[in-house]
């Protein structure tokens, strides 16, 4: 069982920055694919970014490339999502999720394989 807790959501103005954190419990000495997903009101949940905690490629949705950065923290068991130059369309509930295999970190950011989810943190961007 992997537990994930998101934090850092807030209400900000367009153009500002925000940093979300995903703290996850460690299951033995495993590495995980950790992804950030978001769901706006009335819309389906979509993948935002993913990274493998053991190192390797990171993936981003086209809508956030160049503005968002996913990174592994220096402290153990935390993954960040740095959100720069946010826009109203970034308003959503943001979730982090974990999959037990590197293969779940993929370019299309599908939810397949992400079996563990946090409760979410709300990001609201006003114009």
* Tens digit of each residue's pLDDT (9 = 90 or more) over 69-97: 999 988 778 999 999 999 999 999 999 99
Give the count of beta carbons closer than 10 Å to the beta carbon of residue 93.
18
Cα 70 to Cα 121: distance, rounded to the nearest angstrom: 16
From residue 94, alpha-carbon distances to 22, 46, 68, 75 in Å are 10, 10, 13, 22
Quick: pLDDT tens for 43-70.
999 999 999 998 888 999 999 999 999 9
Q: What is the mean pLDDT of the chain?
A: 94
What Rg do the C-alpha atoms of the chain give, in angstroms? 13
């Amino acid at each position: 069982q992997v537990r994930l807790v998101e934090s850092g959501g807030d209400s900000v103005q367009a153009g500002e920055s925000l940093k979300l954190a995903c703290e996850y419990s460690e299951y033995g000495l495993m590495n995980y694919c950790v992804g950030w997903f978001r769901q706006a009101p009335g819309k389906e949940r979509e993948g935002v970014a993913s990274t493998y905690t053991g190192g390797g490629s990171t993936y981003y949705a086209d809508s956030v490339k160049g503005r968002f950065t996913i990174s592994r923290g220096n402290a153990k068991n935390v993954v960040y999502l740095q959100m720069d130059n946010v826009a109203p369309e970034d308003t959503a509930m943001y979730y982090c999720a974990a999959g037990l295999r590197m293969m779940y970190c993929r370019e299309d950011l599908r939810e397949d394989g992400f079996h563990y989810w946090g409760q979410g943190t709300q990001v609201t961007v006003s114009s």
